[in-house]
Amino acid sequence: MGGSAYRRLRQSRESGVLFVTIDAPPLNLLDVPLFAELERLAADVEGDDEIAVVVFTSADPDFFLAHYDIHDLLERGSRRPPARSGVLKRFHALLERYRTLPQLTIAQLEGAARGGGAEFAMALDLRFGALGRAVLGQPETALGIIPGGGATQNLPRLVGRARALEIVLGGRDLDAATAERYGLLNRALPADRIAAEVRDLALRIASHPGEAVRAAKRAVDAHVLPGHLGFVEEAELFGRQITTSAARERMRAFLAAGGQTREGEVRFGELIARVADEVRAAEAAGR
């Protein structure tokens, strides 16, 4: 992917998972250079079929993404307000691109993510926070502005209208435990376990056939379609997926290993993991 061309996003790969470490001293400020690298990364990831999951972490123990660069906002605020165009502004377009990536995206939060940093985390599919370390907040109204990177739209969907107003207008930080209770985090995890648990989940998801992961994400996202159209989308994706060679191979392997027998089903998790390991080993041997 040309990770060496990135100065602020360190990258490593493991079994279909791309780990991206945000490393932009002194505090992982979401400024114009980092923004440009995030745009480039989205374009690189989108067309890479070998990546099933992208995990974002931070090299800074105190900050995931501090917030958007206030100097840039002041400079833009010195100009006349832009006319309403009906076209997504650059920041919204970036966040929508991450939200709609075919890969699953995960934020591993072990420091603060405020303002645009929290909004970037909300654009990712899953969020996990370290207890005692992760902090999320939208402090914009205290500065006389409002969130401008999607928080006013995404927060009500994630936590409900009343809590969204509390977060946006209160301007206070949410710790990991509160963010989990509100629905902003999938889970709040002990700081000494979060890295291992996120890695295990990412590798588990990446062990599934990539086209199945992409189809499942697309089907879940169809829930926003009106009326019955989400079911129509799900049915089409399901019907297409069961015809793939990867799906048929794994279903046959599941039955051969004891699936749909009483003996096999009582150890279902072990059986599924074994099937995945056997299929991956066979694929590796055939390369």
Point out which residues pair with 130 in neighbouring strands: 189
Query: What does the pLDDT read at residue 93?
Result: 93
Query: What does the pLDDT read at residue 121?
Result: 98
The two beta strands, 112-114 and 135-137, are: parallel
What DSSP state is assigned to residue 21?
A: E
Distance separating alpha carbons of residues 113 and 109, to the nearest angstrom = 8
Query: What does the pLDDT read at residue 282?
Result: 81
CA nearest neighbour of 35 among 90, 73, 89, 77: 90
Q: Which residues in the chain show pLDDT less than 50?
A: none
Query: What does the pLDDT read at residue 173?
Result: 95
pTM as predicted = 0.90
Query: What does the pLDDT read at residue 4?
Result: 58
How do residues 193-244 score in pLDDT, each as one tens digit?
999 999 999 999 999 999 999 999 999 999 988 888 888 888 888 888 988 8
Distance separating alpha carbons of residues 139 and 258, to the nearest angstrom = 55
Query: What does the pLDDT read at residue 151?
Result: 94
Distance separating alpha carbons of residues 245 and 224, to the nearest angstrom = 30
Q: Where are the alpha helices (DSSP H) in the chain?
A: 32-46, 70-77, 90-99, 116-123, 151-159, 161-170, 176-182, 194-206, 210-221, 229-241, 245-256, 262-265, 268-286
Q: What kind and span of H or E run contains 13?
A: strand 9-14
Query: What does the pLDDT read at residue 2?
Result: 54
Distance separating alpha carbons of residues 103 and 125, to the nearest angstrom = 9
Query: What does the pLDDT read at residue 76?
Result: 75
